[in-house]
């Protein structure tokens, strides 16, 4: 980062009142626990995030410390007056010593709040204070609308609940106006309705939602309805206020209406005018015979009538036919105003309003007992399984639903109703915390294995100490992150403005379920799910050097050229070493337990139990022996021996390249007698074939156990046949006596088996740990940083995958074809990426590609829940994870036998990316799109592989019945042609990939940088295309339906903020991003030329 030295010097010499804090401190740099120099007294001045260090108050600043990406460590002892300022960049710590304890504490607070994170916390506190003040004012304004309620004996009001069906919204209604009166006779009205709710318990008037704007008519029929989710606190005594506005200036965003009090008419300069309002009780609508109310719209003073408004109660299972002719006739006159142009949308659909609406909803429901909300409606549930049966398991995953209701005309003059639903997921934090916990345990085992390597030569011992020190540092970082996540409270998702926070870097951005429930008059109900999430990427670490795809390739190339310092092992061999260690840790305790069961069966003299125990012991031991049938173990043992101090080889070690690593080592002469040693010899000649003998001893010991069991069972059978003989011979008595005590005869053989197995485990663990030592030593500290980055990206990707799998399993629980496909073939998971290949987004795309590819090592397993905790359980290690999904007993019984028996379910993730923004235009014209092309081509091959596997193992009637002209093979060929064509912004790739995914019963994901702008545009376009292609949406209403779903006006009150996550005001936003500060660019003529070129390029991209 570059700074203007003169400006900084002038800033440091400003008067004392201009600084946040100043005073004398003793300062020095610290590395570890050692001070580089003795602390020297300096006059320190703090301004914003800049700390100026001066020799005295009148001298010039000798050093400037930027207080970003740093934290303060304050010592808690009463006598200590010093603090440490630590930096994430790795530069030496700053030791600060004050004159007194109060002064030390004051400096600690000031320095802790000086960075951008501290400023962000202050802004959040001010926002909360503003919201509390607004709520107090709104409660005073709402008193005139308060209903009279009954009071019980304790003085608490009693309200009447609305009867509803389980899993369904409490209340839904549609709106239409007639005979609206304009201010001037010749003016055509552009109207929308603001919906507000008066809560009888809190006496608060809350703006709930709005309709779309209908232009050019005095009888508007609104396609956007109003829906209240199951947990919303609404009763028959609740009053709803409907306010009609006329939009005068179509360029003004009407969300500014929420700034004004609800009962006051807005100023004319905000772009719209107040027409009238009406209020009704929910009980009047619910109990009305025709389930319809006709209300009179009046002005704010209540004197003048300006029209009527019709409120129709909506039930998804019923249809309305009467108004179809009306809307079709007026289709040419009624126009729809979309607030969000395709290129400048800031928050298109429901996910954009989640943060704001969820916080409002939580504030309203915290004061009542919450009802659990089921977010999945099973359209064809079988008898005996009610909708309530899947409530607990699904509510453990999803929460805080936001619903919107629409009604659109079909091509046969009927109405279809669409319920759009968006929900957060608790898995956003649960999965990363479980994953980090596994990483901590795995890293602790690895560090212990490195310490257990024993004595090493000085070179290797120093290397081991360095590796362990770095690993301990990374382990501490994981532990700190897990502790911070454990303290997290609030919303269950990470907003886009928090994507750069270190404590939340493992959490996915804006992970939500976007669901569309379609109820058509002539077709079955249908559910369409899309998981929306920000691209899995390490935003905090940045993308200056690219993403994982480039960094891993570069690191592997550098590691091959490490020279003599360490031994190079290929990534395949490193992965094999981790697998061997995992098998050892898994199989050794199982074999020991089965051996104990065998002895227990022998002591009980139970032949059947003895046979079963022997069978399990044999199976596990064979797996154990098979795990070491690899040349890597033998070569690693030799390499470890050479690393011992004073080692002597019978034959000199032959230098070997990495390509020859898997070749067999030359065997040397060895004594015929087997010697068992407690550890690898240090100062004697190393016998390379000794490992084969030690490894073979396990199998020989097992054979001895099997032979003894067979002999005992045979003698037992023969003794039973001779029970009828009255005179057994003396020899027979001796045999029976010798074979009588099975335990005594089996015990020494089992002990020998355990001893042999323990010797193999010791040697194998040490050799594989030595391989891992080479991997870490060859790339410190890059290796650990890449592991951290990969863990971060994988954590974000895995949280989305687990959410998608659970939702898909719940919605398809009654589809036997899908369940058969799930355990026979696996599940297709298709990611739609909308990132550009320009600047930082290219690094994000590289991270995302690696993270999604790593999902191939994830397997799922469905188990029956044994408690009320239905959250998934994660087990495994970095190279292999198993996600155990818990289902209630009634749901678990619906699964096929293969899944109930614990069969592991495979995942097939594929990623197709097409950049669609202005930055992609720059990449296509002046940059490089090879990354996107390679990713699409690689994943096309994976998709073809899954299709071939599907066609081989599954019957054709398992495919969903979509009304498509082309079959799957044709769609795949079309997708292949579009990828090969390499056209600019070829969005046909996205549509074809999504169609193939839905045909193959897959799970759909849509991702962009923050899962807001581009994601919203993509999801809404996909939803309307499905309505048109599958549910006969009227062709003249496609654009209107699309604009209706995209309109921010329909998403409810957003207060004065455009973005509910960041709270940025629209008034101060520039109209175009390419108007840079000209004063800064005029410093140099070269910079001015660069500015002109960039501005021209962005203008061309915008108006392309």
Point out the residues that are catalytic. 1008
Strands 272-281 and 239-247, sheet pairing: antiparallel
HEC states along 483-496?
HHHHCCCCCCCECH
Residue that the structure tokens 């919201």 belong to: 131
| CA–CA dist 795, 792 (Å, integer) | 5
Q: Are 398 and 231 in contact (CB under 8 A)?
A: no
Number of Cβ within 10 Å of residue 78's Cβ equals 7
From residue 888, alpha-carbon distances to 168, 385, 750, 894 in Å are: 21, 11, 42, 10
Using left for φ > 0, alpha for ψ between -120 and 50, and beta otherwise, residue 599 falls in: alpha
Instruction: With both helix axes pointing from N to C terminus, report the angle between 1038-1046 and 1013-1030 in degrees, rounded to the nearest 10.
Output: 150
Residue 837: C-alpha distances to residues 738, 924, 1005, 1091 (Å): 79, 8, 19, 21
Helices assigned H by DSSP within 927-1035: 930-953, 968-981, 988-999, 1013-1030
Contact predicate 174/314, CB 8 Å: yes
Cβ distance 932 to 915 under 8 Å?
yes
Q: Classify residue 291 as left (phi > 0), alpha (psi -120 to 50) or beta.
A: left
Our measurement of the distance from residue 67's CA atom to the centroid of its chain's CA atoms, rounded to an integer in Å, reads 30
Dist CA 99 CA 87 (whole Å): 24
The CA distances from residue 157 to 148, 367, 666, in Å, are 9, 14, 90
- Rounded Cα gap, residues 264 and 426, in angstroms: 40
With beta carbons less than 8 A apart as the criterion, state whether 701 and 622 touch.
no
Tell me how far CA of residue 779 lies from CA of 464, 472, 557, 558, 559, in angstroms.
Answer: 13, 16, 11, 8, 6
Cα 913 to Cα 935: distance, rounded to the nearest angstrom:
8
Do the Cβ atoms of 172 and 165 come closer than 8 Å? no
- Longest CA span, the chain: 126
Tokens of 63: 């050093």
Q: What angle do CA 1017, 1022, 1028 make, to 5 degrees?
A: 130
Token pair 């009304």 is found at: 963
- Strand (E) positions, 125-203? 150-151, 157-158, 171-178, 190-199
Q: Does residue 1063 contact residue 127 with C-beta atoms inside 8 Å? A: yes
- Cα dist from 339 to 254, 271, 351, 403, whole Å: 8, 13, 16, 20
Please compute, for residue 582, the number of CA atoms within 13 A of its CA located in the half-sphere on the CB side. Answer: 16
CA dist., res. 245 & res. 183, Å (int): 12
Region of 271 (left: φ > 0; alpha: ψ -120 to 50; beta: rest) is: left
Query: Quick one: angle between helices 840-854 and 548-559, nearest 10?
Result: 80
Joined tokens for residue 178:
């007639």
| Termini Cα distance of the chain | 35
**90 — alpha (psi -120 to 50), left (phi > 0) or beta?**
left
Backbone angles phi, psi at 159, to 5 degrees: -120, 150
- Residue in the block written with tokens 């029956």: 864
How many angstroms separate the CA atoms of 784 and 561, rounded?
A: 18
The separation between CA 820 and the C-alpha centre of its own chain, rounded to angstroms, equals 27
């Amino acid at each position: 980062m570059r700074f203007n030295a003169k400006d900084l010097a002038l800033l440091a010499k400003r008067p004392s009142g201009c600084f946040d804090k100043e005073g004398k401190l003793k300062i020095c740099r610290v590395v570890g626990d050692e001070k580089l120099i003795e602390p020297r007294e300096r006059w320190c001045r703090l301004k914003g995030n800049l700390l100026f260090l001066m020799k005295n108050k009148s001298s010039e600043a000798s050093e400037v410390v930027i207080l970003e990406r740093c934290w303060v460590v304050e010592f808690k002892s009463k006598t200590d007056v010093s603090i440490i300022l630590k930096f994430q960049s790795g530069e030496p710590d700053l030791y600060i010593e004050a004159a007194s304890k109060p002064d030390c504490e004051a400096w600690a607070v000031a320095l802790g709040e000086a960075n951008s994170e501290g400023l962000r916390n202050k802004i959040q506190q001010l926002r909360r204070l503003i919201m509390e003040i607004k709520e107090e004012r709104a409660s005073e304004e709402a008193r005139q609308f308060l209903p009279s309620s009954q009071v019980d004996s304790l003085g608490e009001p009693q309200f009447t609940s609305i009867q509803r069906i389980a899993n369904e919204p409490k209340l839904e209604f549609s709106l239409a106006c007639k005979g609206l009166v304009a201010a001037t006779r010749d003016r055509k009205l552009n109207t929308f309705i603001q919906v507000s709710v008066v809560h009888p318990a809190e006496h608060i008037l809350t703006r709930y939602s709005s309709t779309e704007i209908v232009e050019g008519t005095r009888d508007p029929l609104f396609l956007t309805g109003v829906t209240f989710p199951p947990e919303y606190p609404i009763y028959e005594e609740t009053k709803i206020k409907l306010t009609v506005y006329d939009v005068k200036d179509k360029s003004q965003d009407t969300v500014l209406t929420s700034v004004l009090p609800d009962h006051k008419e807005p100023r004319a300069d905000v772009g719209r005018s107040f027409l009238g309002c009406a209020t009704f009780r929910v009980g009047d609508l619910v109990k009305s015979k025709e389930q319809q109310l006709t209300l009179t719209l009046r002005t704010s003073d209540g004197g003048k009538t300006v029209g009527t408004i019709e409120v129709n109660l909506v039930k998804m299972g019923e249809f309305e036919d009467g108004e179809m002719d009306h809307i079709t006739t007026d289709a040419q006159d009624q126009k729809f105003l979309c607030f969000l142009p395709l290129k400048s949308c800031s928050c298109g659909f429901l996910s954009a309003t989640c943060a704001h609406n969820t916080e409002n909803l939580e504030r309203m429901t915290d004061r009542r007992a919450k009802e659990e909300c089921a977010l999945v409606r099973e359209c064809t549930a079988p008898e005996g399984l009610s909708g309530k049966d899947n409530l607990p398991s699904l509510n453990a995953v999803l929460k805080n639903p936001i619903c919107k209701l629409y009604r659109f005309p079909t091509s046969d003059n009927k109405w279809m109703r669409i319920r759009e639903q968006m929900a957060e997921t608790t898995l956003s934090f649960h999965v990363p915390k479980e994953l980090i916990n596994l990483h901590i345990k795995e890293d602790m085992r690895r560090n212990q294995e490195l310490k257990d390597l024993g004595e090493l030569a000085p070179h290797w011992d120093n290397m081991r100490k360095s590796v362990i020190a770095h690993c301990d540092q990374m382990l501490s970082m994981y532990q700190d992150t897990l502790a911070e996540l454990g303290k997290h409270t609030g919303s269950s998702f990470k907003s886009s403005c928090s994507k750069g926070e270190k404590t939340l870097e493992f959490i996915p951005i804006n992970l939500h379920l976007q669901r569309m429930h379609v109820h058509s008059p002539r077709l079955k109900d249908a559910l369409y799910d899309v998981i929306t999430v920000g691209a899995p990427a390490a935003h905090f670490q940045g993308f200056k050097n690219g993403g994982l795809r480039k960094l891993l390739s570069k690191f592997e190339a550098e590691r091959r050229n490490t020279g003599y310092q360490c031994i190079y092992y290929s990534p395949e061999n490193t992965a094999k070493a981790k697998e061997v260690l995992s098998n050892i840790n898994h199989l050794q305790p199982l074999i020991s337990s089965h051996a104990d069961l065998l002895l227990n069966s022998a002591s009980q003299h139970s032949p059947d139990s003895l046979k079963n125990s022997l069978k399990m012991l044999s199976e596990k031991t064979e797996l154990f022996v098979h795990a070491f049938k690899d040349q890597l173990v033998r070569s690693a043992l030799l390499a470890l021996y050479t690393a011992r101090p004073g080692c002597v080889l019978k034959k000199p070690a032959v230098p070997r390249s990495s390509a020859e690593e898997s070749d067999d080592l030359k065997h040397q002469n060895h004594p015929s007698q087997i010697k068992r040693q407690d550890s690898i010899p240090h100062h004697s000649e190393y016998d390379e074939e000794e490992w084969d003998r030690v490894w073979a001893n396990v199998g020989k010991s097992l054979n001895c156990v099997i032979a003894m069991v067979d002999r005992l069972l045979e003698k037992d059978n023969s003794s039973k046949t001779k029970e009828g003989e009255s005179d057994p011979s003396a020899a027979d008595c001796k045999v029976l006596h010798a074979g009588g005590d099975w335990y005594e005869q089996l015990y020494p053989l089992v002990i020998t088996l355990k001893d042999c197995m323990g010797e193999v485990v010791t040697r194998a663990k040490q050799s594989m740990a030595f391989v891992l030592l080479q991997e870490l030593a060859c790339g410190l500290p890059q290796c650990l940083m890449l592991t951290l980055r990969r863990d971060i990206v994988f954590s974000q990707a895995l949280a989305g995958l687990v959410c998608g799998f659970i939702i898909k399993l719940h919605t398809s629980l009654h589809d036997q074809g899908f369940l058969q496909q799930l355990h026979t073939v696996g599940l297709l998971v298709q990611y739609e990426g909308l990132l550009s290949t320009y600047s930082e987004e290219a690094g994000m795309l590289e991270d995302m590609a690696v993270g999604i590819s790593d999902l191939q090592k994830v397997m799922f397993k469905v188990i029956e829940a044994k408690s009320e905790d239905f959250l998934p359980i994660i087990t495994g290690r970095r190279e292999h994870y198993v996600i155990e999904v818990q289902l209630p007993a009634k749901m678990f019984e619906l699964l096929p036998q293969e899944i109930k028996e614990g069969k592991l379910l495979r995942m097939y993730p594929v990623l197709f990316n097409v950049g669609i923004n202005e930055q992609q235009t720059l990449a296509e014209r002046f940059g490089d799109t090879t990354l996107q092309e390679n990713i699409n081509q690689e994943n096309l091959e994976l998709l073809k592989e899954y299709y071939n596997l599907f066609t081989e193992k599954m019957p054709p009637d398992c495919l969903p019945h979509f009304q498509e002209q082309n079959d799957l093979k044709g769609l795949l060929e079309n997708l292949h042609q579009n990828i090969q064509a390499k056209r600019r912004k070829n969005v046909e790739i996205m549509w074809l990939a999504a169609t193939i995914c839905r045909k193959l019963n897959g799970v759909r994901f849509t991702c962009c940088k923050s899962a807001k702008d581009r994601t919203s545009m993509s999801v809404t376009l996909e939803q309307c295309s499905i309505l048109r292609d599958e549910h006969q949406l009227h062709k003249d209403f496609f654009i209107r339906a699309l604009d209706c779903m995209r309109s921010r006006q329909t998403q409810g009150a957003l207060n004065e903020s455009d973005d509910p996550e960041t709270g940025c005001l629209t008034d101060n936003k520039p109209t175009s991003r390419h108007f840079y500060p000209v004063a800064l660019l005029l410093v140099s003529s070269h910079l001015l030329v660069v500015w002109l070129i960039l501005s021209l390029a962005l203008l061309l991209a915008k108006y392309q």
